């Protein structure tokens, strides 16, 4: 089964920056445990677990299609331009002084007065679950994923992925389904990508850009979120507008007080730089308006909540696509769906495209037990003394067993798997990808009525199986998040004359 994971990952080497070195596991230990190690280019998702193993070296790619049904060819992407990379610091700092002329420190006497007033107004309901999960972002550009990690744990979302030991818990390095983490370390994420990540991990997310809302709407959303323990607001704002150093930043909103014309409590995840603080709500709204130079759009905020119905999280498989690659992956599939006259024709055309030698990204192993740096280290380097490679390899063996069990289950119980006439080597991954694609309302909408009816019937039959439904459900979440992100980032346009127009969401 590891050959299956290897092949599907090799076909889709499009995520980790090309300057990464190859990682080499301990082959002597592998032999002793009778484990076949994956090649260094195998793409796997990472975690902090000290008992899990990881190998990861792939190249980010762009896709170029010659026709609507031909397979995109992977073109390696150049590294980010120097202007986007974080400059190497020439000196160090211990925090920054909070601009007191605009902001009120959370721990100051005035800040405590605002806190008491907000508590009396019942506008601190969000503070208590968020404060229990308060964290400091792990990287200077991790404000977005640090904020989301904090909110996911505050909303008690089960990631379905082991963090450390037997415990499932969100950590920042799990949040990589929309952008590779190496990219995020340098460039951060946009507001749409933030919401995409939230949706990929099981939340409902409403993205609101500053030029699409009024101040009154923003104020209502702030108060509604502060009075709730089940929905939270993450703001994407310009630090300069608040008199701070830096540019764009994400943080959760923790409370609201009506004193002084309205004050909002920002739980700043860059705690190494600024403490938490109260900001006038009008000033906070104005800080959403400056244009994000990466997207050409204003900033804004996202309202996050648990889904209205329970979502079963995928445990083993994940979609191998990002916001950069998904549009060019998805477009040919939409065109095939639109042109298919029968269900059989649809299935044959999709399998023909996805099964070409260069391969469109489908799904790969989540590698929840392999995702730490426990046994993987740079070629030619000695592993750190704290590394325990044997534990990582044993976890890998356990994971391999679980994947083989899933393979056997799908082989025996999935009707679509039994219908597909393709190479057995990547058949499980292809099956899960197609079931997820056929569950996506956006894709179903382009199908002809007779094709859509047959697709729905087939999917409904296979998703009665809880184990199959769990794997497919996680991939559907990721697909849906990427589709919505693409729409949001393409929503606001700038005309030749510089005028901005936005569609309604």
Give 223-260 pLDDT, tens digit per residue. Answer: 999 999 999 999 999 999 999 999 999 999 999 999 99
Flag whether pLDDT at 432 surpasses 60. Answer: yes
Q: What is the model's pLDDT at position 353? A: 85
Q: What is the model's pLDDT at position 484? A: 85
Q: What is the model's pLDDT at position 439? A: 95
Flag whether pLDDT at 274 surpasses 80. Answer: yes
Q: What is the model's pLDDT at position 21? A: 37
Phi, psi (rounded to 5 degrees) for 433: -60, -45
Q: Say which of 221, 268, 292, 462 is annotated catalytic.
A: 268
Measured between alpha carbons, how far is 433 from 353 in angstroms, rounded to an integer?
13
Give 1-28 pLDDT, tens digit per residue. Answer: 434 434 444 344 333 343 433 334 444 4
Measured between alpha carbons, how far is 301 from 130 in angstroms, rounded to an integer?
17
Measured between alpha carbons, how far is 464 from 470 in angstroms, rounded to an integer?
10
Residues in Cβ contact with 244 at an 8 Å cutoff, skipping those fewer than 6 apart: 96, 98, 99, 274
Measured between alpha carbons, how far is 335 from 353 in angstroms, rounded to an integer?
12
Which tops the pLDDT comparison, 287 or 310?
Answer: 287
Q: What is the model's pLDDT at position 273? A: 96
Q: What is the mean pLDDT of residues 193-197?
A: 93
The pTM for the full model equals 0.68
How does residue 193 score in pLDDT terms, banded at 50, 70 and 90?
A: very high
Q: What is the model's pLDDT at position 150? A: 98
Q: What is the model's pLDDT at position 121? A: 97
Q: Say which of 143, 149, 178, 226 is annotated catalytic.
A: 143
The DSSP code for 40 is T
How does residue 435 score in pLDDT terms, banded at 50, 70 and 90?
A: very high
Q: What is the model's pLDDT at position 58? A: 32
Q: What is the DSSP string of 167-208?
A: EE---GGG--SSS-HHHHHHH---HHHHHHHHHHTT-EEEEE
Measured between alpha carbons, how far is 26 from 363 in angstroms, rounded to an integer?
26
Which tops the pLDDT comparison, 486 or 46?
Answer: 486
Q: What is the model's pLDDT at position 221? A: 98
- The answer to whether 14 is a known catalytic residue is no
Give 440-465 pLDDT, tens digit per residue. Answer: 999 999 999 999 999 999 999 999 99
Q: What is the model's pLDDT at position 377? A: 25
Tokens of 39: 């090649």
Flag whether pLDDT at 185 surpasses 50. Answer: yes
Average pLDDT score, the chain? 77
Q: What is the model's pLDDT at position 87? A: 53
- The answer to whether 178 is a known catalytic residue is no
Out of 35-49, 276-290, 431-445, least confident range: 35-49
How does residue 488 score in pLDDT terms, banded at 50, 70 and 90?
A: confident
Q: What is the model's pLDDT at position 470? A: 87
Which tops the pLDDT comparison, 403 or 73?
Answer: 403
Q: What is the model's pLDDT at position 326? A: 87
Q: Say which of 173, 226, 249, 370 is annotated catalytic.
A: 249
Q: What is the model's pLDDT at position 36? A: 43
Q: What is the model's pLDDT at position 358? A: 55
Q: What is the model's pLDDT at position 317? A: 82
Flag whether pLDDT at 320 surpasses 70. Answer: yes
How does residue 495 score in pLDDT terms, banded at 50, 70 and 90?
A: very low
Flag whether pLDDT at 214 surpasses 70. Answer: yes
- The answer to whether 143 is a known catalytic residue is yes
**Domains, the chain, ranges and CATH?**
2-78+312-491 (no CATH), 104-305 (3.90.70.30)
Tokens of 47: 């975690």
How does residue 295 score in pLDDT terms, banded at 50, 70 and 90?
A: confident
Measured between alpha carbons, how far is 172 from 138 in angstroms, rounded to an integer?
8
Out of 100-114, 336-350, 412-426, least confident range: 412-426
Q: What is the model's pLDDT at position 450? A: 96
Q: 336 pairs with which residues across the strands?
A: none
Q: What is the model's pLDDT at position 88? A: 60
């Amino acid at each position: 089964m590891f050959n299956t994971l290897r092949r599907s990952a090799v076909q889709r080497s499009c995520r980790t920056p090309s300057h990464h070195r190859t990682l080499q596991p301990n082959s002597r230990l592998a032999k002793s445990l009778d484990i076949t190690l994956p090649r260094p280019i195998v793409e796997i998702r990472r975690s902090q677990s000290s008992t899990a193993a990881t190998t990861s070296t792939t190249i980010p790619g762009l896709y170029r299609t010659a026709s609507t049904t031909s397979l995109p060819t992977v073109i390696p992407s150049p590294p980010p331009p120097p202007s986007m990379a974080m400059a190497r610091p020439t000196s160090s700092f211990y925090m920054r002084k909070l601009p007191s002329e605009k902001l009120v420190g959370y721990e100051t006497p005035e800040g405590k007065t605002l806190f008491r007033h907000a508590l009396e107004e019942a506008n601190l309901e969000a503070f208590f679950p968020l404060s229990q999960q308060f964290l400091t972002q792990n990287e200077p550009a991790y404000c977005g994923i640090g904020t989301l990690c904090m909110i996911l744990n505050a909303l008690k979302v089960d990631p379905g992925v082991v963090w450390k030991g037997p415990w499932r818990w969100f950590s920042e390095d799990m949040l990589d389904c929309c952008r590779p983490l190496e990219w995020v370390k340098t460039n951060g994420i946009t507001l749409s990508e933030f919401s995409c990540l939230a949706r990929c991990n099981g939340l409902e997310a409403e993205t609101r850009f500053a030029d699409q809302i009024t101040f009154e709407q923003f104020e209502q959303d702030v108060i509604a979120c502060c009075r709730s323990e089940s929905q939270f607001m993450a703001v994407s704002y310009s630090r300069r507008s608040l008199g701070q150093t830096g540019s764009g930043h994400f943080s959760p909103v923790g409370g609201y007080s009506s004193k002084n014309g309205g004050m909002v409590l920002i739980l700043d995840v860059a705690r190494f730089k600024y403490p938490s603080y109260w900001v006038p709500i009008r000033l906070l709204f104005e800080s959403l308006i400056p244009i994000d130079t990466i997207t050409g759009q204003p900033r804004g905020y996202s309202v996050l909540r648990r889904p209205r119905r329970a979502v079963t999280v995928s445990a083993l498989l994940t979609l191998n696509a990002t916001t950069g690659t998904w549009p060019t992956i998805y477009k040919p599939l939409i065109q095939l769906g639109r042109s298919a006259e029968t269900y059989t024709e649809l299935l044959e055309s999709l399998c023909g495209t996805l099964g070409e030698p260069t391969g469109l990204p489908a799904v790969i192993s989540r590698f929840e037990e392999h995702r730490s740096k426990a046994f993987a280290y740079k070629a030619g380097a000695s592993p750190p003394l704290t590394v325990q490679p044997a534990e990582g390899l044993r976890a890998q063996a356990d994971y391999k067993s679980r994947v083989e069990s899933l393979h056997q289950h799908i082989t025996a119980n999935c009707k679509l798997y039994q219908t597909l006439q393709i190479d057995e080597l990547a058949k499980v991954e292809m099956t899960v990808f197609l079931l997820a694609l056929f569950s996506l309302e956006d894709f179903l909408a382009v199908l002809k009525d007779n094709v859509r009816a047959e697709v729905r019937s087939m999917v409904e039959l296979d998703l009665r199986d809880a184990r199959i439904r769990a794997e497919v459900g996680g991939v559907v979440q990721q697909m849906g998040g990427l589709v919505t992100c693409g729409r949001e980032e393409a929503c606001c346009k700038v005309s030749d004359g510089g005028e901005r127009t936005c569609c309604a969401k």
